[in-house]
Amino acid sequence: MLQLKRISWVLKDIWFHLKRCAITNRAGNSSQYRQLQLFRHEMQHFVGVMQGYVSNQIIHVSWQEFCKELRENVHSLDELHQRHAEYLNKAIFRSLLSRKAGPVMKVITDIFTVILKFRIQLVSHSWQFDETRNEAIHLAYPNMASSFHAFQKYSEFLYRVVKKLVARGYQPHLEDFLLRLSFNNYYQDV
């Protein structure tokens, strides 16, 4: 969850950086600026989906199930200990932190790494005004476009993997993640 919060903060920082550049470097009317905002928006959507999944499936649903177990099946301290251990195991399982879910978490971590790389590329280079195009251009735009395409490939791969896991009955709660990620069937043709 800390990684997710960090990536969320990084995307907010990207937004602030782009907004500031639109004002200070007159980049707001640039086609590259608009494209970078679209890239950022798609990354922000992915992170928002991850946050929603964590909030709903891991925090809320797991907690509700734990509270129900407390009300109905706990009559001693040993039972409380057992139910709490089950709750923690379920939260770890749903968080994709188990050993079996390691490859899926690796893809998610790789997506986060691409977002961090995108930010570094954005802030490490500046905008310059191109007289021939009559608009501001970012010196690292080709690299950022490449990073975004890597982000898309990882996202599509993650969608395919999770879809197969859900179809096989492994971690059925991931269906909520799929619905959130492709609510408008964005990844349907993948």
Closest to 143 (Cα-Cα) out of 169, 117, 164, 167: 117
84 in a domain, yes or no?
no
**70 lies in some domain:** no
Q: The domain containing residue 158 runs over which residues? A: 2-53+100-181
**DSSP per-residue letters across 47-108:** HHHHHHHIIIIIIIIHHHHHHHHHHHH--SHHHHHHHHHHHHHHHHHHTT-SSTTHHHHHHH
Residue 73 lies inside a defined structural domain of this protein: no
In a domain, 137, yes or no: yes
Q: What's the pLDDT at 170?
A: 77
CA distance 148 to 1: 23
Task: Examine residue 79 and state whether it is found in any structural domain, yes or no.
Answer: no
How many structural domains compose the chain? 1
Predicted pLDDT at 92: 84
Tens-level pLDDT at each residue, the chain (190 residues):
778 889 999 999 999 999 998 888 787 888 999 999 999 999 999 999 889 888 887 888 888 888 998 899 888 999 899 999 999 988 888 888 888 878 989 999 999 999 999 999 999 998 888 888 888 889 999 999 999 999 999 999 999 988 888 888 877 788 888 888 877 777 776 5
pLDDT at 190: 56
Q: How far apart are CA 130 and CA 150, in angstroms?
A: 27
Domain annotation covers residue 22: yes
Residue with structure tokens 């905008």? 127
Is residue 169, in this structure, part of any structural domain at all? yes
What pLDDT is attached to residue 73?
85
Looking at residue 137, what is its pLDDT?
A: 86
d(CA 146, CA 153): 11
What tokens does 22 get? Answer: 């639109």
Q: What share of the chain is helix, strand, coil (3-state, %, to 5)?
A: 75, 5, 20
Q: What's the pLDDT at 189?
A: 65
Give pLDDT, residue 10: 95
* Residue 76 maps to a domain: no
Determine the angle formed by the axes of helices 102-124 and 2-24, rounding to 10 degrees: 20
